[in-house]
Structure 1
Amino acid sequence: MAGGKRAKIRMTPDEVASHLATNFKVQVATVGRDGAPHLVTMFYALLDGKIAFTTYRASQKVLNLRRDPTMTCLVEDGVEYAELRGVALYGRGLVVEDPEPRTKVGMVVGSRMAGLPVPAIGEPIDPAVAAGIEQVLAKRVLIVMEPDSVVSWDHRKI
């Protein structure tokens, strides 16, 4: 894509933040032992403006990140070419064992997965629901995306 057209479709920092805040699925790529990408889709929440999600402690992505923290995240939407929008974040995936931020993210993502009303980060939820989510979170860690660079596009600007 020519530099001029590329510049026209780039999102502003505010547009990037809004795009990340209004979506909830992210494609996550980590580097496998053999160097091949390991790609999965995860539900996420924003923790201090950063993509964050929980996953099983023994999952392949966690094993990959402990060996090599390189991670890429893609949040995209749109169906027709003229509607395509996306934000690609390149950087590191931090494996966080601390239960406090894991619980904050887990309550948001767990509510969404259960089809319940989705709270804001840190907002209280029904105690019975919270107890069930906490039980699931016990076997999970938090992954936080620490981006080094961000690439964005919004074809609606063309």
Structure 2
Amino acid sequence: MSVTEQRRGRRIMMSPGELDAFLAGQRTCRVATVSADGTPHASALWFLWDSGALWLYSLVRSRRWTQLGRDPRVAVVVDSGEEYGELR
């Protein structure tokens, strides 16, 4: 990644207060876990942002919870915006 790309990312980066307000107003995220063979498994979930904690709503017998029991790595994406300057 070049320095130019990093600077562009900083233009859309949120402050802690902006991030807190953004996440408090959203409800859907994409969660990625790692399958037994190492492939990613991504799915949409509802979530709640509460005092700096992300609470995910999921069935405990779901594929993602089985995968998390085996490998705790997880990625969560919450985004909005159409144009680059609108991305959050």
| TM-score (normalizing by structure 2) | 0.84
The answer for unaligned runs of 5 or more in structure 1 is 86-158
Name the Cα RMSD after superposition: 1.6
How far apart are residue 16 of structure 1 and its match? 1.2
How far apart are residue 56 of structure 1 and its match? 1.4
2:42 is the alignment partner of 1:33: no
Q: Secondary structure at the match of 1:77?
A: coil
Cross-structure match for 1:43: 46
Paired with 2:86 and 2:10, the residues of 1 have a C-alpha distance of 17
Of all paired residues, the percent bearing the same amino acid is 32
- Bigger Rg over Cα: 1
Cross-structure match for 1:89: none
Cross-structure match for 1:95: none
Q: Secondary structure at the match of 1:7?
A: helix
| TM-score (normalizing by structure 1) | 0.49
Cross-structure match for 2:66: 63
Q: Matched residue pairs, number? A: 85
Paired with 2:13 and 2:60, the residues of 1 have a C-alpha distance of 36
The answer for unaligned runs of 5 or more in structure 2 is none
Match of 1:80 among 61, 79, 83: 83
Paired with 2:68 and 2:50, the residues of 1 have a C-alpha distance of 19
Instruction: Give the strand-richer structure, 1 or 2.
Output: 1
Q: Secondary structure at the match of 1:29?
A: strand
Cross-structure match for 1:117: none
